[in-house]
Chains A and B, each alone.
Chain A
């Protein structure tokens, strides 16, 4: 660290700007881990799909490092027993470690490829799901008779297993045939039909859950907000669009993050309809090598990296769009400087100053408050 400090100067300040609210050493470590994780994933994707086509780099799916030296190291430690005086320590745990490193190098390209599918599947599905969920939630709350339609959709989707929904879409409906007839499917950047069906399934499923989260947030917005919007001549829909929803979506971020994190992990069900996502790829390798424990440990680390990235990004978004003066830490500070607390003081101070001396005249209590505040500032 110390020798790299000068070179890292600008990076460090960039990191500082990225995480303004925390200066704990743990968070720096987390940021470094994040950079390593995403650096690996991104370079892997670029290597496999851009550089490999141009004949550059190690080629698609090829390792950056050779696992052989680690395998050799593992073999060396297999038989070694360290003798410190009379105590004899078996060193084969080092062998396990180096074996793991070698395995990690071996399957890293496969995990990166699977992670790509998982990331695209999750991000596209959750965003499309959100597009459906918002009107669905609005219908639930403001829809009048149409609310039953939204309720029926939500309960049907939430009431049946996701896997069953995917199977119906994949095997039950002739979607695969239709999609296969489209020339573009599976060519260039357009994914295979199984992948498209998975996106459809997760979009529908996620929309029902997201609609419930958004409904909760929608109901937490004070109804006076919509009344005030209508009082200046907005239609109900305009009031919802410009006044209620902007607040709803802000309040809904924590719950929505929950759904996002779930989806990252239950996107693994796409493997059942042959989508080569993260879990599917890893489990295939595991069942052919029987190295279940190390492979699933590595798999868990990749999922953990994705989930922590998601929660971190959403937390950052939440802080960024927080309404100044409400809730969030940053906002609370601003609120203090802009008079919320000052008002609190003016309201409380007269009682504190006057105590039992009865109610003084308004002007008196005000001037006393002023001096009180002044002394405090000094």
Chain B
């Protein structure tokens, strides 16, 4: 099903490493065009402008972490990327396809962009396995056995094969979120979006989710992550984008953004979260 499995790309781990050491701006990799390109995105709800001209580029295999104070537009930006929220103006491209194009089928786009939610949103009436097979069967039209095999391999990937027949209410928060990740991965996405995947979890439950995310980073999955987990941002990200009041304030490799931010606003933000 997957034409281009990011895990099959050669030397992905090495590339991430190289980017980190050189400290160059994101986008200087071997890929000709970035996998995900966002141009001058504007979005407002009523009088409130949530996104004010956001631009972003994410290369294949990159892990872009969006940080910023609450209300800065991170989650809205993420939801615009797979058109769960329609933008007012601006363009989003996934490879050659314009996501925001008027003729683009949002349902087709969403299959290529996996999403993991803060409030997890597992289908409450389905078992862990059925949560994964539903999309494979109804969207992809796979056979029952085919979908089941795929679901089991995804559950195995996140270490939950034994819980395949459990219902969401029988799983812990961390387990639920791992199923949520497996559900998104099963659709063979080009990019995975994470919208504060650990914010609803107790710290000890967050770790198991972060471990799975780290595993995806190692496999070379392209990811855009909104998170307050600075450990993940430092260890897993290839780039950090700092947003405030609907604008990209600063963007760069994690070490530089964390330790030597150019903008005073960025510095203040990291200072404030360090004090927590």
> Which residues of chain A have a CB within 8 Å of any CB of chain B?
222, 224-225, 227-235, 238, 242-243, 246-247, 250, 323-326, 331, 334-335, 338-340, 342-343, 346-347, 362, 365-366
Residue with the highest number of chain A CB atoms closer than 10 Å, among B125, B138, B183, B205 = B125
Decide: B107 and A335 in contact? CB cutoff 8 A.
no
Query: Which B residues lie at the A interface, using CB under 8 A?
Result: 82, 84, 107-108, 110-111, 114-115, 117, 119, 121-125, 134-135, 138-139, 166-173, 175, 180, 183-184, 187, 202-205
**Would you call B171 and A230 a contact (CB within 8 A)?**
no
Residue in contact with A234 in the complex, picked from B117, B135, B170, B203, CB distance below 8 Å: B135
Are A233 and B170 in contact (CB-based, < 8 A)? no
Contacts of A231 in B (CB 8 A): 82, 84, 110, 114-115, 117, 184
A242 contacts B173, CB within 8 Å? no
Distance in angstroms from A246 CB to nearest chain B CB is 5
Report chain B residues within 8 Å CB of A324. Answer: 166-167, 169-170
Q: Given the complex of chains A and B, what is the CA–CA distance between A229 and B184 in angstroms? A: 10
Q: Find out whether the CB atom of A233 lies under 8 angstroms from the CB atom of B124.
A: no
Taking A232-B184, A325-B168 as known contacts, 16 extra A-B pairs with beta carbons closer than 8 A to each other, sorted by chain A number, are A222-B121, A231-B114, A232-B111, A232-B135, A233-B108, A233-B111, A247-B124, A247-B125, A323-B124, A324-B166, A325-B167, A326-B167, A335-B169, A335-B170, A339-B170, A365-B204
Q: Which residues of B contact A347 (CB under 8 A)?
A: 202, 204
Q: Across the interface, do A228 and B110 meet the contact criterion of CB distance under 8 Å?
A: no
Contacts of A323 in B (CB 8 A): 124-125, 167, 169
Chain A residues, Cβ within 8 Å of B82: 231
Q: Are A227 and B167 in contact (CB under 8 A)?
A: no
- Cβ–Cβ contact A235 & B173, under 8 A: no
A362 touches B204 (CB 8 A): yes
Neighbour of A229 across the interface among B123, B171, B172, B204, CB < 8 A: B123
**B129 → A minimal CB distance (Å):** 14
Residues of chain A contacted by B115 (CB below 8 angstroms): 228, 231
Taking the closest CB of chain A, its distance from the CB of B46, in whole angstroms, is 19
Known contacts A233-B108, A233-B187; A340/B170 CB under 8 A:
yes
Chain B contacts of A224 at CB under 8 A?
Answer: 117, 119, 121
**A-B complex: 9 closest residue pairs judged by Cβ atoms:** A325-B169, A233-B111, A338-B170, A228-B121, A232-B135, A224-B121, A325-B170, A343-B172, A231-B115
Question: Contact between B139 and A246 (Cβ–Cβ < 8 Å)?
Answer: no
Chain B residues near A326 (CB-CB < 8 A): 124, 167, 169
Taking the closest CB of chain A, its distance from the CB of B216, in whole angstroms, is: 17
Using CB atoms, name the residue of chain B closest to A332: B169
- CA of A87 to CA of B167, assembled, Å: 70
Contact of A338 with B166 in the complex, beta carbons under 8 Å: yes
Give Cα A335–Cα B115 distance, bound, in whole angstroms.
27
| A249–chain B nearest beta-carbon distance, Å | 10
Assembly CA distance A227 to B195 (angstroms): 13
Q: Which residues of B contact A229 (CB under 8 A)?
A: 123
Report the nearest A residue to B204, measured CB to CB: A362
Residues on A with C-beta less than 8 A from B184 are: 231-232
Point out the residues of chain A lying under 8 angstroms from B139, CB to CB.
232-234, 238
**B170 adjacent to A366 (CB under 8 Å):** no
Q: Is the CB of A362 within 8 A of B117?
A: no
Give every chain B residue within 8 A of A227 (Cβ-Cβ).
84, 117, 121
**Whole-angstrom CA separation of A242 from B124 in the bound complex:** 12
Partner of B123, one of A225, A335, A342, A365: A225
CB distance from B232 to the nearest CB of A (A): 16
Bound-state CA distance A224–B124 (Å) is: 11
A325–B124 Cα gap in the complex (Å)? Answer: 10
On whether the beta carbons of A340 and B169 are closer than 8 Å, the reply is yes
- Complex interface: chain B residues within 8 A of A234 (CB): 107, 135, 138-139
A238 partner residues in chain B, CB cutoff 8 A: 138-139
Pick the residue among B119, B135, B167 that contacts A233 (CB under 8 A).
B135
